[in-house]
Amino acid sequence: MFSLISRAILFLLGWKIEGQYPHHIPKKILVVYPHTSNWDFPLGILVRTASKAKIQFIGKNSLFRPPYGFIFRGLGGVPVDRTKSNQFVDNMVETYNNRERFTTVIAPEGTRKKVDRLKTGFYYIAVGAKIPMILTQFDFERKVVRYGEPFYPSGDKEKDFEFIFDYFRGIKGKYPELAFTIPEKNSRD
């Protein structure tokens, strides 16, 4: 029922979902780009519910403090202390390795502000846990959320990031000027 309600809300707002959410893959990491607005969160919750997907999200630990922290935990949030290095990647790989089913979503920009480089933890989690990434576009210009095909990283970071950048190139967030600037395509000749 919640799925139908979420689909109706997305329809009324003019949004559509393209691609198929891979329910059949028990462990995966959704990589969402771009992340430029607070509106990304409710959109993500609607899409998750419409897709009937059980996905947890990573958020800064200040979101999980009273008085509203219980809401973010109830929605599947996992707090992360971004002020110190705490072996986040290793802990996430261990979490994936210790569960039969687990899906989380990460925005590689790590913030809604303009950044000069992406955080790479999502990549190293996928490599370390030997799980696919589901590259997911939040295209506010076209009002489309698009699930990509499962992408298993090869371990060749440069080559894999070319693929990732190609997938996200041209996608516009709510505030395009705040999105990480995808580098021009490299020629590998």
What is the per-residue pLDDT for 189? 42
Are 50 and 7 within 8 A, CB to CB? Answer: yes
Report the percent of the chain where pLDDT is more than 70: 95
Query: Residue 86's pLDDT band (boundaries 50, 70, 90)?
Result: low
Calculate mean pLDDT across residues 98-127. 93
User: Which of 5-9, 86-90, 114-118 tops mean pLDDT?
Assistant: 5-9
Q: The whole model's pTM is what?
A: 0.88
Count the Cβ atoms, other than its own, within 10 Å of residue 36: 24
Query: Residue 187's pLDDT band (boundaries 50, 70, 90)?
Result: very low
Statement: residue 111 has pLDDT above 90: no
What is the per-residue pLDDT for 87? 83
Statement: residue 159 has pLDDT above 50: yes
Minimum mean pLDDT range among 17-31, 111-125, 175-189: 175-189
